[in-house]
Amino acid sequence: MDNNAYRISYFLQKYLDGDISKEELSLLHRLLEESGEDEIQAAFDLIWHNTPPSDHTAPLFSDREADVLLQDIMAQVPITPRKARWKVTATYALAACAVGTLLTFAWIYMNRQTTAPEETASIASQVEHDVDPAQEEAILTLEGGETLSLQDIKAGDSIKMGDVRLVNNNGELSYEPVQEDEPGTQHVVKTPKGGQINMRLPDGTKVWLNADSRIAFLSNLGAQHREVTVSGEVYFEVAKLDGKRFTVKSTSGEIEVLGTKFNVRAYPEDKSMQTALVEGSLAMKTNMDRVVLKPNQVGVASTSQRITVSEHEHIMDVIAWKNGLFLFENTTLADVGRQLGRWYNIQVQLGEGLANRRITGKIARDVKLSQVMKMLHYLGIQTNLNDNNLMMIPQKEHAYGETTKM
């Protein structure tokens, strides 16, 4: 491969990272002027072939949108000769399909900068103080009312709580029974807004609790029957124990499994229970209905007690939160606001007409709130943060019109 391709790739990457100097931008300008289409195409190939995989989440760009977005980025590089501009434009068309992956990660997953400098400054001026993402935080409450902050158990530590011992093995929090054959006592683990946790239950089942979620279980879970009660959002990897069914209950219904991986979302404001099956099989039940889910299916138990089932080609999208991503796929801003409110522990208000507006995009969940505000700005949503209150209003003008994908 020609040396120019590597040099263009290097400076383009710095440009996407927002780390390019004026001198380097000038050099990139000259390299693009002097290089042929094949070299420019090879430079893009070098970037996106080094982009990490997307954990099987669905691509969020059409070819047309990828083309428009790439032109938007490249327009900020001052290429003046008509011939050179034609070269790059021709490369857009050749690269449109593959560049979707590049841009998804360049802007979102790797928090790279595509917002124009003046827009970034405008957004920064709207943030009086930034807000950190959720941290590892949860409270354990015992049957007698005793409480413990689980994040206080550091790696290598253990602590006795009632009839169990909690152990942190290299960052994984797990239960160990102190005495066998003892009657179980009720344990409740709750994450606050702005908190999350993952742990291993007494029967060996692994659970991940999203922000503002709750799980209740007996300390001898697995000794006889296995039953937990949840609200909020919890991902399960159920340990298989011969003849011992695992039951998950919520106010909207219940789930029965033997050993499987699935996600349950049952926030009170949802007024429903959504179950996404990743692996194995399970049965969803309400007072009026019962269905058996297969992998890549999503079941929803509504207030009517009926259960609807749909196929989901990219089931890992549903548990993107567990893998460190916000993934909005044709999601209403009302739901986006609820997710951000729980994760950043803020109040979110929507301007008139925004509640049912839908957006598509993804961003790492470990970023500060200002980064999410930049993404929303790019999607045509103006935001203002004041005293932990985030206000969303529509922008008067948006470069991409009705396009609200990221």
- The three state secondary structure string of the chain is CCHHHHHHHHHHHHHHCCCCCHHHHHHHHHHHHHCCHHHHHHHHHHHHHCCCCCCCCCCCCCHHHHHHHHHHHHCCCCCCCHHHHHHHHHHHHHHHHHHHHHHHHHHHHCCCCCCCHHHHHHHHHCECCCCCCCEECCEEEECCCCEEEHHHCCCCCEEEECCEEEEEECCEEEEEECCCCCCCCEEEEECCCCEEEEEECCCCCEEEECCCCEEEEECCCCCCCEEEEEEEEEEEECCCCCCCCEEEEECCEEEEECCCEEEEEECHHHCCEEEEEEECCEEEECCCCEEEECCCEEEEECCCCCEEEEECCCHHHCCCCCCCEEEEEEEEHHHHHHHHHHHHCCEEEECCCCCCCEEEEEEECCCCHHHHHHHHHHCCEEEEEECCEEEEEECCCCCCCCCCEC
State whether 53 and 159 are in the same domain.
no
pLDDT value at residue 46? 66
Q: Tell whether 260 is covered by a domain.
A: yes
Q: Tell whether 110 is covered by a domain.
A: yes
State whether 248 and 338 are in the same domain.
no
Q: Tell whether 403 is covered by a domain.
A: no
Q: Tell whether 353 is covered by a domain.
A: yes
State whether 359 and 251 are in the same domain.
no
| Secondary structure of 20-60 as H, E, C letters | CCHHHHHHHHHHHHHCCHHHHHHHHHHHHHCCCCCCCCCCC
Q: Tell whether 168 is covered by a domain.
A: yes
Burial 74-87 (b: 16+ CB within 10 A, else e): beebebeeeebeeb
State whether 149 and 164 are in the same domain.
yes
State whether 126 and 157 are in the same domain.
no
pLDDT, tens digit only, all 406 positions of the chain: 456 777 877 777 776 666 778 788 778 777 877 877 677 767 766 655 454 434 444 443 344 443 444 454 455 544 444 344 444 444 444 443 333 333 333 333 334 334 444 444 444 445 567 899 999 999 999 988 999 999 999 988 999 887 789 999 888 899 987 666 677 899 999 999 999 999 999 999 999 999 999 999 999 898 878 999 999 999 999 998 888 899 999 999 999 997 799 999 999 999 999 999 999 999 999 999 999 999 999 999 998 899 999 999 889 999 999 999 999 888 999 999 999 999 999 999 999 889 999 988 888 899 999 989 988 887 888 999 988 999 999 876 443 334 344 4
pLDDT value at residue 78? 47
Q: Tell whether 250 is covered by a domain.
A: yes
State whether 166 and 191 are in the same domain.
yes
Q: Tell whether 291 is covered by a domain.
A: no
State whether 158 and 127 are in the same domain.
no
State whether 156 and 254 are in the same domain.
yes
pLDDT value at residue 35? 78
Determine the structural domain holding residue 390 and report its residue range. 122-131+324-394
pLDDT value at residue 217? 95
CATH number at residue 245: 2.60.120.1440
State whether 226 and 141 are in the same domain.
yes
Q: Give the domain-ending residue among 83, 114, 145.
A: 114
Phi (first) and psi of residue 258, to 5 degrees: -105, -55
pTM comes to 0.72
Q: Tell whether 313 is covered by a domain.
A: no
Q: Which residues contact 197 (CB under 8 A, 6 or more apart)?
A: 136, 137, 138, 150, 151, 173, 189, 191, 208, 209
pLDDT value at residue 124? 44
State whether 37 and 49 are in the same domain.
yes
11-65 pLDDT, tens digit per residue, is 777 766 667 787 887 787 778 778 776 777 677 666 554 544 344 444 433 444 4
Q: How many domains does the chain have?
A: 3
State whether 179 and 127 are in the same domain.
no
CATH number at residue 347: 3.55.50.30
pLDDT value at residue 27? 82
State whether 34 and 12 are in the same domain.
yes
